Amino acid sequence: MSWSPWPRPGTDMLLTVTDLEHRYKGAPEPVFAGLEQSFEPGTLTAVTGPSGCGKSTLLYVLALMLAPSAGSVRWDGVDVHALADADRARLRAGHVGFVFQDAVLDLSRTAEDNVLEAAWFAGIDPDEARSSARELMERFGVGDRADHRPGEVSGGQAQRIALCRALVKAPSIVFADEPSGNLDAVSADVVWDALAEAAASGATVIVATHDDARAATAGARLRLEP
């Protein structure tokens, strides 16, 4: 299947999954199977369920980091896992922001360069990207850490930097895997509020979380069972 580019990041993107299954190689049972769900633009969907039920795996499949064993994932009607590897990589670079549980910052780069990396892969103008990166870092209270390396900032600051990296290109889709699980209450509020604001601005936001209180505030909810 050939790939045709969508408009630049920030465009509304509807995600739908049909009869979705993922089974790790050699595993006797799938992590999840028969999953049917739509993830709407402008909505924060909280994915909940006990440990081991497949929350993280689902995010990786939706974000084109893992291939499903069966079923389909469609972005605006396009079966994205039927695309070539290079085309899927371009889609991830251009349209996806991902916040990992443990920040996953490059220890050899400054905080600002970690944020900018996502914008460079998306092909955003360097001056525009740097301006957006600095604005986000100031907004989330890590502007004064721009020249620091990840080993020189706290865990909460690292996650805020990772949040800036995810949002710097105004992505159509934002994934967050337990983004507040290792944070203090103040940092957790900052991260969750930013994700909710991204949804309010039109992004499709999908968050895996164990936090039932925060999940209850989401616009939609998907519960997975083991």
- The answer to pTM > 0.85 is yes
- Who wins on pLDDT, 153 or 10? 153
Is residue 1 included in any domain, yes or no?
no
- Which tens digit of pLDDT belongs to each residue from 14-34? 999 999 999 998 888 999 999
The arithmetic mean of pLDDT across residues 174-189, rounded, is 87
Return the CATH number at 151.
Answer: 3.40.50.300
Assigned domain for 197 exists: yes
**pLDDT, tens digit, 9 for 90 and up, residues 114-162:** 999 989 888 888 999 999 999 999 999 999 999 999 999 998 899 999 9
24: in domain: yes
Given pLDDT bands bounded at 50, 70 and 90, which one contains residue 5?
A: very low
Give the count of domains, the chain: 1
Per-residue model confidence (pLDDT) at position 182: 76
Q: Is a pLDDT exceeding 80 seen at residue 1?
A: no
Whether the pLDDT of residue 3 is over 50: the answer is no
In a domain, 186, yes or no: yes
Q: Please report whether residue 2 resides in a domain.
A: no
Kindly tell me if the per-residue pLDDT of 36 is higher than 80.
yes
Structure tokens at 103: 């920040």
Across the range 183-192, mean pLDDT stands at: 85
Would residue 137 count as lying in a domain? yes
In a domain, 54, yes or no: yes
Within a domain: 115: yes
Whether residue 46 is predicted with pLDDT greater than 80 in this model: the reply is yes
In the prediction, which pLDDT does 10 show? 52
Distance between CA 167 and CA 115 in Å, rounded?
Answer: 9
Per-residue pLDDT tens digits for 61-115: 999 999 999 999 999 999 999 999 999 999 999 899 999 988 899 999 999 999 9
Print the domain residue range for 164. 15-223
User: Which of 9-13, 204-208, 212-216 has the lowest average pLDDT?
Assistant: 9-13
